[in-house]
Amino acid sequence: MRLESVAIIGGGAWGTALAQASAMAGRRVSLVARDGAQVAEINTSHTNKRYLGSQALHESIVATTEAGPADIVILAVPAQSSRAALGALAPELLAGKPVVLSAKGLETGTLDRQSEILFDMAPEAIPFVLSGPSFAADVAAGRPTAVTLAGDDATQTSALALALAGPNFRPYAADDRIGVEVAGALKNVYALACGAVEGADLGASARSALIARAYAEMARMVTAMGGSATTLTGLAGLGDLTLTCTSVQSRNYQFGMALGRGQTVDEIIAGGAKLAEGVATTPVADALAKSLGVDAPLVHAVEAVLSGKADIATVVAGLMSRPLKRED
């Protein structure tokens, strides 16, 4: 596998951060963005102010509106846009190529994971999933970050991890694509809940209890969906769950805080909220839990709040009055 050049699809916060990491790793990077003005800004000022403020970008990054051939393709658009973004690429750009899926979400309607979408749209691509505790601002600034890179072939995954690794960006190779994808999607749901706990001033003890029970629920979901619960001990599980569920830097956590303060989903979105993947993923996860027969009271509680079926006080009372059970 030749792994010299990288095309990153998506000129938002995460696509730009991964372009920066890939450039720091020594790869030849093209960053494919839809907005011509943004492309011009990246190529001339070496910034992407809308998404990363004044962060200086590596001058070797070439932004473009048209994807060209590259050895590695990284998809970095929101989970609900992945299918459209893949569909807009010429099939020969994807066939036989490693395609790194970096969105953290489940698709509305189909209930698909990101690699199921890739199988539909480009069955000859080689799927990899990148996930883990990694804020775009940290990665773009070259702060130390470690992530999980999961693929089906151990040799290929290690080679790709090496190609993407930089002095401060450390991908750990893994083989449980499903576990990594499900963990990355669900942690956003639980971050909404933890943000709501903070917004509603329910206390740090409640938030930690929530994180621990979310971990147990995540393990049930991952196992039911064909992944391994062991994956959750790593960066894509525990690592990202704790980051996103405790940091006001997280957009999902911020969205949850607004819910906790009593705002509705429509009000928060109308107020200009940034992308919070958990909002679209929650009803999908709830539907999956129901169809798979997984006990997922936390996902269900977040769904009830987001859909306006219940307020936070009601769902908390419901969770606290569930029959007592053994922890295991």
Ligand X SMILES: NC(=O)c1ccc[n+]([C@@H]2O[C@H](COP(=O)([O-])OP(=O)(O)OC[C@H]3O[C@@H](n4cnc5c(N)ncnc54)[C@H](O)[C@@H]3O)[C@@H](O)[C@H]2O)c1
Ligand Y SMILES: O=P(O)(O)OC[C@H](O)CO
- Which residues are tagged catalytic? 187
The footprint of ligand Y on this chain (CB under 6 A) covers a number of residues equal to 13
Cβ-closest position to ligand X? 12
Among 250, 268, 289, 315, binds ligand Y (CB under 6 A): 250
Does 134 bind ligand Y (CB under 6 A)? Our answer is yes
Of 45, 67, 14, 79, the residue nearest 279 (C-alpha)? 79
Q: ∠ CA(99), CA(102), CA(103), 5° rounding?
A: 125
98 binds, among ligand X, ligand Y, none (CB under 5 to 8 A by kind): none
Instruction: Work out how close the CB of 119 gets to ligand Y at its nearest, in angstroms, rounded to a whole number.
Output: 23
Question: Which position among 41, 176, 277, 303 is part of the footprint of ligand X (CB under 6 A)?
Answer: 277
CA gap 205, 175 in Å, rounded:
34
Strand order in the sheet with 145-151: 62-64, 28-32, 5-9, 72-75, 98-101, 126-131, 145-151, 169-174
Stretch that binds ligand X, among 54-62, 70-78, 213-221, 287-295 (CB under 6 A): 70-78
Is 18 annotated as ligand-binding?
no
Nearer to ligand X, 57 or 202 (CB): 57
Flag whether 252 is marked binding: yes
Backbone torsion region of residue 158, taken as left when φ is above 0, otherwise alpha when ψ lies between -120 and 50, otherwise beta: alpha
| 208 among annotated binding-site residues | no
Shortest distance in whole angstroms from residue 133 CB to ligand Y: 5
Q: Based on the shown chain and the rule CB under 6 A, indicate whether residue 135 belongs to the binding site for ligand Y.
A: yes
Token pair 């059970």: residue: 325
Give whichever of 183 and 221 is closer to ligand Y, judged by the CB atom: 183
User: Using CA atoms, how far apart are residues 117 and 109, in angstroms rounded to an integer?
Assistant: 12
Stretch touching ligand X by CB under 6 A, among 10-18, 89-97, 282-290, 315-323: 10-18
Residue 246 touching ligand Y (CB under 6 A): no
| 51 annotated among ligand-binding-site residues | yes
Does the CA dihedral 24-173-183-147 come out positive or negative?
negative
Task: Work out whether the CA dihedral 214, 176, 228, 86 comes out positive or negative.
Answer: positive
Structure tokens at 195: 């943000």
What letter represents residue 95's amino acid? A
**Which long-range contacts does 294-297 make (Cβ < 8 Å, 24+ apart)?**
294/217, 294/220, 294/221, 294/224, 295/217, 295/220, 296/217, 296/220, 296/221, 297/217, 297/322
Among 138, 117, 133, residue whose Cα is nearest residue 242:
133
Residue with tokens 């401060």: 168
Between 67 and 312, whose beta carbon lies closer to ligand X? 67
Contacting ligand X (CB under 6 A), which of 47, 60, 64, 81? 81
CA distance 27 to 13: 19
Hey, which residues between 274 and 303 contact ligand Y (CB under 6 A)? 277
Picked from ligand X, ligand Y, none, the partner binding residue 243 (CB below 5 to 8 A depending on kind) is: ligand Y
Tokens of 197: 């706990």
Out of ligand Y, ligand X, none, which partner does residue 244 contact, by CB within 5 to 8 A per kind?
ligand Y
252 binds, among ligand Y, ligand X, none (CB under 5 to 8 A by kind): ligand Y
Task: Tell me the per-residue interface mask from 102 to 121 with ligand X, x by CB under 6 A, - otherwise.
Answer: xxxx----------------
Q: Could you list the residues that contact ligand X (CB under 6 A)? A: 10-15, 33-34, 51, 76-79, 81, 84-85, 102-105, 134-136, 275, 277
Q: Could you list the residues that contact ligand Y (CB under 6 A)? A: 104, 133-135, 188, 191, 240, 243-244, 250-252, 277
